[in-house]
Amino acid sequence: MSEDGIEISEDEYPELEAVAAIQRGLHAFNQEMGGPYDREPVTLLARDQAGEVRGGLLGLTYWNWLFIDWLWLAPEQRGKGLGAALLARAEAIARRRDCTDAYTDTFDFQAPGFWRRAGYEEFGRLNGMPPGHARIWFRKKL
């Protein structure tokens, strides 16, 4: 225990309130330093005729940026333009929310060529994550 009575502990299954306290604290600090960011989700789903999700995009808009966190397509849906359609729709939502830029990250075994074809430029790379591969960050002016 430290002099001020703070104890550090590991917690493999933290209570939701503990996680929320960390999130609230960081969000408050970020907004104090960078201004309000009006975080809004971007959720797009691609469903087949039976209503099954066959792809989708999950992201956020904040501080005039679109962050694309997840873009996934079922294997049989790849290469048909569905990913490009999801991305275009997300970018349109972001523009309506006054976003000027977008960013994402991917792995070299996922689809870096997809992002380049969509006009995204690489701005960062972490080689060896996972071993033998790289994590790549992309950005685009909207």
Q: What is the pLDDT along the chain (142 residues), one digit of tens a residue?
A: 677 889 888 998 889 999 999 999 998 999 999 998 889 999 999 999 999 999 999 999 999 999 999 999 999 999 999 999 999 999 999 999 999 999 999 999 999 999 999 999 999 999 999 999 999 999 999 9
Per domain, the residue ranges of the chain are 37-141
State residue 61's pLDDT score: 98
37-141 under CATH 3.40.630.30, yes or no: yes
Q: Which DSSP helix (H) or strand (E) runs through 23?
A: helix 16-34
State residue 87's pLDDT score: 98
Q: How far is CA 16 from CA 20, 25, 28, in A?
A: 6, 14, 18
State residue 4's pLDDT score: 82
